[in-house]
Structure 1
Amino acid sequence: MDAFLFRVKAAQRDLIERCGGIERVVTICGFSKSQVGRWNSPNDPDLMPIGAVVALERDCGQALVTSVMAQANTRRLTDPDIERAQEVCLIRNHSELMRQSAELAHTVAMAIEDGQVSPSEASSIDRVAAALEHAASNLRAGCAVIKARGGQASQLRVVGEGE
């Protein structure tokens, strides 16, 4: 498989996870458990049909597979509902991004420790990188809301301030 197919497979696994796992995906799509298991397996070349992708992305509210396909054609999807980030907390978003970054560093370090990165380790790295990408997207969405509002007061306060 080429890199694009590995990215699609990773997006499929993320989509299945965010929709509640294999059993729930079977219920949503009507495909067999073994078929959904093949979509979920990083070692199986089976790809989801478009109808299943649309149904699952609608269910979880995230265009994971569609985004990979858009990126393969040098395009990017935008979220038409930027108001979903109305209750933005820049500090929380930044904190999650840093946590995911540390998790990625740890996962990569563990994978390269023995001088060999296995396909399983590469899948683990990819999974953590997807979470990091999601955290960065949330931070960027929050920044967009702040810019649209013309700024936002910082929620940080100095301990002992005003005493």
Structure 2
Amino acid sequence: MTDPFLPRIKAAQRDLIEDCGTMRRIEEKFGYSKSNIQRWGDAKYPDLMTIDAVRLLEADCGIPHVTMVMAEVTGRRLTDPDQEHAFAACVMQSHADLMRETAELAGKMALAFADGHMTPAEATAADRAAAQMEEAARQLRSALAVVKAAGGVKAGLRVVGSD
């Protein structure tokens, strides 16, 4: 896979499969074969999900993993209008989540580079950590967009011990 888009799509497909439950559940509920599901989630195979499979599985788990990657490669972003109010109240939590995921990625990368050679397994672990960091960054950006649209929000912080 020389196209950098393909590993991102394969990672999104793997995340989508994981969020939908077991392969057996997907096989029974949607009628896709176990071997197809395995190939969709395995980076060694070039198999991509059909649009119908993406639509059904994303609707099932409620997270548009593949659709988000498709939007991002064209310079677009997805938004969820139902979450706008929740984001306004959680900018600090979103920031903390991003910092935690960034530290997780940094740890994976440090372990991978410790011996001077990155293995495919280490690259996969780092890619998963990077995907989680990307999601945390998306959440923070969404929260910040709500704050900007609202003209700012009160942080609700105060110095402990002050009146």
Q: Is the TM value for this pair above 0.5?
A: yes
> In structure 2, what is the equivalent of residue 49 of structure 1?
50
Any unmatched runs of 5+ in structure 1?
Answer: none
Stretches of 4+ aligned residues off by more than 6 angstroms: none
Any unmatched runs of 5+ in structure 2?
Answer: none
How many Å separate the matches in 2 of 1:104 and 1:51?
33
> In structure 2, what is the equivalent of residue 62 of structure 1?
63
Amino acid at match of 1:135: A
Does the C-alpha gap of structure 1 residues 60 and 153 become closer, same or farther in structure 2, counting only changes over 3 Å?
same
Structural mapping, 1:7-156, within 5 Å: 7-72=8-73, 74-79=74-79, 81-88=80-87, 89-156=90-157
Q: Is the 8 A contact 1:100 1:135 kept in 2?
A: yes
Q: Is the 8 A contact 2:94 2:136 kept in 1?
A: yes
How many Å separate the matches in 1 of 2:43 and 2:96?
30
Shift of 1:60: 2.5
Q: Is the 8 A contact 2:68 2:78 kept in 1?
A: no
Shift of 1:82: 2.8
**TM-score of the two chains, using structure 1 as the length reference:** 0.89
Does the C-alpha gap of structure 1 residues 87 and 68 become closer, same or farther in structure 2, counting only changes over 3 Å?
closer
Task: Please tell me the root mean square deviation across aligned C-alpha atoms, in Å.
Answer: 1.6
How many Å separate the matches in 2 of 1:150 and 1:93?
19
- Secondary structure at 1:43's aligned position in 2? coil
Q: Is the 8 A contact 2:71 2:78 kept in 1?
A: no
Shift of 1:65: 1.4
